[in-house]
Chains A and B, each alone.
Chain A
């Protein structure tokens, strides 16, 4: 740990540029996975056989492929098929798709937790499928879904480091680059670990808040 503070001051700006990209990748893929996850979940509970089957098989395919392979596919294989993505685009798309499967299962569990009788009551006052979702099911499902959603946020923050494998210069890759050029592995990776932890802690507190609120109802 010799000269740690000296190194810290020197490497901090470079690592912070990595942090910025980490945040961009995390937020981008979080939004994408949320939207896709909602779409898969809605298809799954739509009661329309074809949509539900498509959604179920999509989720299984996505779940069965490692994130890193998905990233390689988007970044290295898609150009052969005529679609060239920047490393950042491929990272957000890959992580977003990979996590949409978990989001979908989480959302579905929340939707299916709503008592069937309430849905019938909504139908019996003339509400259609979408109105029932919007006014009765989703507002209650959100409460149930939030704690696991917070956990997904934490996992995504950490898994954004996988974007380093396709040259996105986020925190992990910046750390690796500094370490391999200065050989100060201990100092650099300690800083990297602390920076990830610093970003996780607010999310961990948020999850705890969600859990408390869900427990109160």
Chain B
């Protein structure tokens, strides 16, 4: 349902994506791993039009992603995004954060949207925090609210941009648990992550990206347990055994 064909992207002189071709099927969980600065996040940001790309084509359910076209709203309501730094709206309550998109972008009925918002908060284990404001929550709780906000759009896929990198280690598990449940329920997910355990257990496929190209890709367990390319081997050795 998500197709990338020879996507190129530069920031000034610096070419961060050098021809990315990949696809994500419906119901698939794809993890993108690689060193920082390799272009992982940029790929996600291009898929829902937060960044433009210079060459190639990205499409979602056959709809071309073009951030300057009005169709971008349609893409964004189908593909939600969860950010590293949560990016909740601090001036609104947790429940208001969740129903903001359904109410103001999709113009849903207020009562129905609020009911679903509460159900989603219960699903991520935060039913009792509905009326709190985001700054009162821990990072892990904020990220789970952000996931509920993404789900409230009833998206066909969710993009996760290093969802646990800004969290204290003891809070990572709660967020990964919610994501694992989503994957089990059949949600299409693209996850940029450094959590190799999550990638191994939950992902169907893993892409290893370095220097703006896909160096290696394959089924999660095979790629993480027996990487073929020397750069993948080197990267995994450093991530898994930092000392």
Chain A interface (Cβ within 8 Å of chain B)? 115, 117-118, 120-128, 131, 135-136, 139-140
Q: Chain B residues near A136 (CB, 8 Å)?
A: 89
Q: Chain A residues near B89 (CB, 8 Å)?
A: 118, 121-122, 135-136
Q: Give Cα A131–Cα B106 distance, bound, in whole angstroms.
A: 12
Contacts A117-B83, A117-B85, A120-B83; A126 near B91 (Cβ below 8 A): no
In chain B, residues 44-78, which have Cβ atoms closer than 8 Å to a Cβ of chain A?
A: 48-50, 73, 76-77
Q: Give Cα A131–Cα B49 distance, bound, in whole angstroms.
A: 17
B87 near A120 with CB under 8 A, answer yes
B101 near A126 with CB under 8 A, answer yes
Q: Chain A residues near B50 (CB, 8 Å)?
A: 120, 123-124
Q: Chain B residues near A126 (CB, 8 Å)?
A: 73, 76-77, 101, 105-106, 153
Q: Give Cα A123–Cα B79 distance, bound, in whole angstroms.
A: 11
B65 vs chain A, min Cβ distance (A): 13
Q: Give Cα A131–Cα B87 distance, bound, in whole angstroms.
A: 17
Contacts A124-B81, A126-B153; A117 near B73 (Cβ below 8 A): no
Q: Chain B residues near A115 (CB, 8 Å)?
A: 87
Contact with A along B150-184 (1 / 0, CB 8 A): 10010000000000000000000000000000000
Contact of A135 among B76, B80, B100 (CB under 8 A): B100
Q: Chain B residues near A124 (CB, 8 Å)?
A: 48, 50, 76, 80-81, 83
CB-based A-B contact count at 8 angstroms:
58
Q: Chain B residues near A125 (CB, 8 Å)?
A: 76-77, 80, 100-101, 105, 149-150, 153
Q: Give B103's nearest chain A residue, CB to CB.
A: A135
Q: Chain B residues near A121 (CB, 8 Å)?
A: 81, 83, 87-89, 146, 149
21 contacts between A and B (CB under 8 A): A117-B83, A117-B85, A117-B87, A120-B81, A120-B87, A121-B81, A121-B83, A123-B76, A124-B48, A124-B81, A125-B77, A125-B80, A125-B100, A125-B149, A125-B150, A126-B76, A126-B105, A126-B106, A127-B105, A135-B100, A139-B91
Q: Determine whether B90 belongs to the interface, using a CB cutoff of 8 Å to chain A.
A: yes
Q: Give Cα A108–Cα B73 distance, bound, in whole angstroms.
A: 26
A118 near B87 with CB under 8 A, answer yes
Q: Chain A residues near B101 (CB, 8 Å)?
A: 125-127
Q: Determine whether B11 belongs to the interface, using a CB cutoff of 8 Å to chain A.
A: no
Q: Give Cα A90–Cα B83 distance, bound, in whole angstroms.
A: 51
Q: Give Cα A135–Cα B104 distance, bound, in whole angstroms.
A: 9
Q: Give B49's nearest chain A residue, CB to CB.
A: A123
Q: Give Cα A128–Cα B77 distance, bound, in whole angstroms.
A: 12
Q: Give B70's nearest chain A residue, CB to CB.
A: A128
Q: Give A115's nearest chain B residue, CB to CB.
A: B87
Q: Give B146's nearest chain A residue, CB to CB.
A: A121
Besides the known contacts A122-B89, A125-B100, A126-B101, 15 further A-B residue pairs in the complex with CB atoms under 8 A apart: A117-B83, A117-B87, A118-B89, A120-B87, A121-B81, A121-B83, A121-B89, A121-B146, A124-B50, A124-B81, A125-B150, A126-B105, A131-B104, A135-B104, A140-B91
